[in-house]
Structure 1
């Protein structure tokens, strides 16, 4: 297992986890009827946030599906993506993806679990909070978005 921690600028309340050669149109990914906290393309996961500030993000690259821990999170969704190039990148939507850190992974399809925590901890002005985000990836079939735990 590999765990990495980041702070990502979630401008426009979102950031991306994707293959470095992604082709998903991020502007077309979000729709009025989609989950405001998660949108998925074949090679990109767009993660919604409750702040458009630097947010803490934890990325876990695993060998197998983890044991669910929904009690530690406000909302949990399963999905997946294809990492055809073997290089995963994470970046905010106004960041330059060419400057994103590359993380080497075996090329292939990955199942994913996206967890959001601390969603109700924002300050009155929305600038501060203890919100946190975790992405877990493991080799497996790309899945449709499935709600493991919804936010009340």
Structure 2
């Protein structure tokens, strides 16, 4: 199966200040979620077996653009507030994108070849968020492409203050 360039505009409820990019067969491991919570709070990204969790600035419905691309895209950091990358193994051939409290049945599904993928998250609008997190224009752009297993990295860190969780 070849990678077809795909782009979808989603609205995801970021319950628990996060959403997930996960293999359809990845289990929910509550111990692993607790182990990666510090990474998520500090870096707005965490990665564990078959799951990349993306931290959000607000616990609201957030716009998320997902792009599946055949190769690593260029990355201009300048227009973005925060940029991260992580790896995820997709053993099922299906990527699910869903909010922290969504069920697999309500997830957005993307069919891809089995393999390891890189997930880049570019975030914008963090400066528009009110002190209590009730309002803001934050948005999340996720790019996914075939890659290799590499460590999770923050390519650009937001240095302003975000509402406390």
* TM-score (normalizing by structure 2): 0.85
User: Pick from 10, 18, 38: which aligns with 1:14?
Assistant: 18
Q: Structure 2, unaligned stretches of length 5 or more?
A: 160-165
1:28 to 11, 34, 56: 34
Question: What count of residue pairs does the alignment treat as equivalent?
Answer: 151
Query: Contact 1:57 / 1:132 at 8 angstroms: preserved in 2?
Result: yes
CA distance in structure 2 between the aligned counterparts of 1:98 and 1:28, rounded to whole angstroms? 24
Summarize deviations over 1:97-128 as a string: whole Å, max 9, x none: 23313211111111121111111211344222
Q: Over residues 54-87 of structure 1, what are the superposed CA-to-partner deviations in whole Å (9 max), with x where a residue is unaligned? A: 0000111011111012112111112110111011
| Greater helix fraction, Structure 1 or Structure 2 | 2
- 1:1-150 paired onto structure 2 within 5 Å: 1-23=5-27, 25=29, 27-32=33-38, 34-36=39-41, 37-150=44-157
TM-score for the superposition, normalised by structure 1: 0.91
Unaligned segments of structure 1, at least 5 residues:
none
SS in 2 for 1:120: helix
